[in-house]
Structure 1
Amino acid sequence: MAEAVLFELLHLEMVAQVYKEAESGDTEHGKSISTLEGMGFRAGQGLIERFTKETPSFKDELDIMKFICKEFWTNLFRKQIDNLRTNHQGTYVLQDNRFRLLTPVSNGKQYLEEAPKFLAFTCGLVRGALSNLGIDSTVTAEVSVMPASDASQTSWFPQLDTSF
């Protein structure tokens, strides 16, 4: 439990520091998102190495995505992804109905526009993990309702490049 709180605090401080530099005029807000996503990418690469050390090789993309939803997400956020959907053409939608990294900053709809800066690091984590498993991807996130409300929903859209 304590490590989960530490991770959330670290994440909040990381976002605050990157955006503090942007507000001081050193960088743009778009570059801040890229910075956070890049930090997540490198962390995702390292974490997936550790998590798959004793795992047999994967048969296909779907097995990899199932591993991301069950094992990877559980190791990071102490819960599995709530829903995994695919169009069987390289697009996957992962839904987390109670995404923990948004909960501390979600007090209503007014914070919905602030959500992307709190999702960039996690997009990088997923993209880095997939990259280390041999899949080039684009990962985007969408928040329809902030987690503080009863009907919260955060969707992750890993778009995989199937030409590997």
Structure 2
Amino acid sequence: MSFEAPLPPYNFTDPTATFFSASCIDLLLIELVPLVHRMAESAPSLDHHHIPSYPKPATIIDLDNPPSTPTTTTTNTAAADPPTDEETARDDIFNRLENLGYKVGIGLVERFSRDRSRFTDNLDVIKFLCKDIWHLVFRKQIDNLKTNHRGVYVLTDMTFRPLVRMSASSGVPAVSKAAPFLQFPCGIIRGALSAMGVNAQVSAETPGLPGAVFQITTVNKNPSS
């Protein structure tokens, strides 16, 4: 797969190479969320007891001034409340989108990292994700990468492609509307990292359209052998 203009002979270096219009990716990213909504409505809900729980879009921490350990409070009443039907449906859709992206991320890395030497450091894996994989999927590199050197990485894309054509009022409505469109990319990130031997949790939010911020929390210190 390539976004570059093909030059003959097209398959001289890679007999499995294929080319297609870049607008195909744009249309896929636009239609994916409505498609999953329709799938969720027409198919039984996924069993959440067998689906790993991933964090919802959360506030990105300040890497230069990490927050202190929060004190324990006694406000546990809200945590004990059972999820509403709306929250359950939302989590179901988010899990479907994330799982689809996970499979895509694994496939991308298996295809496009096969000629590279094995990564030995998590930072090298993240850089490969920010430069090569991000450019392959979204036709640009990540604008900013920060890390606290303790397994947390923050990726900032100021003009995130799936959100470029999205219009919404500022504030909470924009954040709520953009949240489903960030789950598929979160899955791509987690799948790509998993294929390179890095277990991680990925969450995302938008500080304002069309920007997006992804937070990666790795589990293992170095890629597994």
- The two structures share one fold, judged by TM-score above 0.5: yes
Between the aligned partners of 2:147 and 2:118, the Cα distance in structure 1 is: 21
Deviation at 1:10, TM superposition (A): 1.2
Are 2:201 and 1:138 equivalent residues in the alignment?
yes
Are 2:215 and 1:157 equivalent residues in the alignment?
yes
Residue 131 (structure 2) aligns with = 70
Match of 2:162 among 87, 96, 101: 101
Between the aligned partners of 2:27 and 2:197, the Cα distance in structure 1 is: 31
Residues 95-144 of structure 1 show CA distances to partners (whole Å, capped at 9, x for unaligned) of 10000101122343233211110010000000000001111100100111
Partner-residue secondary structure (3-state), 2:101 = helix
Match of 1:32 among 93, 100, 116: 93
Where does the alignment leave 5 or more consecutive residues of structure 2 unmatched?
4-19, 46-88
Percent identity reads 40
Superposition TM-score, scaled by structure 2 size: 0.66
Residue 19 (structure 1) aligns with = 37
Partner-residue secondary structure (3-state), 1:104 = coil
Between the aligned partners of 2:34 and 2:139, the Cα distance in structure 1 is: 24
RMSD over aligned Cα atoms: 1.8
- Which structure has the greater CA radius of gyration? 2
Are 2:68 and 1:50 equivalent residues in the alignment?
no
Superposition TM-score, scaled by structure 1 size: 0.89
Between the aligned partners of 2:135 and 2:200, the Cα distance in structure 1 is: 21
Residue 28 (structure 2) aligns with = 10
Residue 191 (structure 2) aligns with = 128
Residues 19-59 of structure 1 show CA distances to partners (whole Å, capped at 9, x for unaligned) of 13445685412101100000000010000111101112212
Larger deviation, residues 50-59 vs 25-34: 25-34
- The answer to whether the 8 Å contact 2:119/2:196 transfers is no
Where does the alignment leave 5 or more consecutive residues of structure 1 unmatched?
148-152
Residue 66 (structure 2) aligns with = none
The aligned amino acid for 1:126 is I
Are 2:120 and 1:59 equivalent residues in the alignment?
yes
Moved over 3 A (4+): 21-27
Partner-residue secondary structure (3-state), 1:85 = strand
Match of 2:102 among 29, 33, 41: 41
Larger deviation, residues 82-91 vs 9-18: 9-18
Query: Higher helix proportion, which one?
Result: 1
Residues 67-91 of structure 1 show CA distances to partners (whole Å, capped at 9, x for unaligned) of 0011110111111000111001100
Between the aligned partners of 1:7 and 1:126, the Cα distance in structure 2 is: 16
